[in-house]
Amino acid sequence: APEYPYPAGLNDTRAVMEVLIADNDTPLILSGDSAGGGLAAGLAAMAVNNAKRPAGLVLLSPWLDLTVSSASYRQNASSDPLFSAESAREAAELYLQGHPPSDVLASPLLGSVEEFPPTLINVGYDEVLAGDARQFHLKLLGASIPVQLQIVKAMEHVAVTRSLSLPGAAETFEALVSFINGLLLPSAE
């Protein structure tokens, strides 16, 4: 976006997912960070009707509600140097281009999470997207979906994707490895 607005990105990721699932017996774990976290969650929502579904979902500082209505935008405005309510509204407008932000595939927090795969959500305590992460965690719990929420103090937005030396990044990486191993490796009995 803006050249390829919603739902182009979601449709492209769906096409890739369907090829990967159809041609392979290896479990697929969807993952995304920031706006990509919203895409991954939207894709998981679309996949609930597939015969073969993703084995897991990893969301790093996910942007899950394009209505930009979480209280954390106000509460963490001074502590999140990378993302603000204003920049979120501008990005949503560029992405949606007139499409309603309440569309549940654009804003997965607003949709059903029934039959979602096991999910790991990671976010920095002081991020403006911490509210989306907390609310999605509660929604998954309410639907009895296995979910882990990791809120890391002093961690910036998607730090693990930038450098393991950043505060919270190594801790996040360890949680990712543990979560993925738990999904892919048989449990020791």
Helical segments of the chain, H only? 8-22, 35-47, 72-75, 85-96, 130-142, 169-184
Is the C-alpha dihedral spanning 163, 160, 157, 37 positive or negative? Answer: positive
Selecting among 72, 107, 137, 157, the annotated active-site residue is 157
Q: Residue type for 28, please?
A: L
Pairwise CA distance, residues 146 & 56, whole Å: 10
For this structure, is 178 an active site residue? no
Contacts of 83 (CB under 8 A, 6+ apart): 34, 127, 128, 129, 157
Asked whether 151 and 167 are in contact (CB, 8 A), the reply is: no
Selecting among 70, 72, 127, 156, the annotated active-site residue is 127
Pairwise CA distance, residues 183 & 5, whole Å: 33
For this structure, is 144 an active site residue? no
For this structure, is 127 an active site residue? yes
- Residue that the structure tokens 């999904």 belong to: 183
Selecting among 34, 61, 70, 107, the annotated active-site residue is 34
Tell me 101's DSSP state: T
Among 40, 48, 18, which residue's Cα sits nearest to residue 106?
Answer: 40
- Known catalytic residues? 34, 127, 157
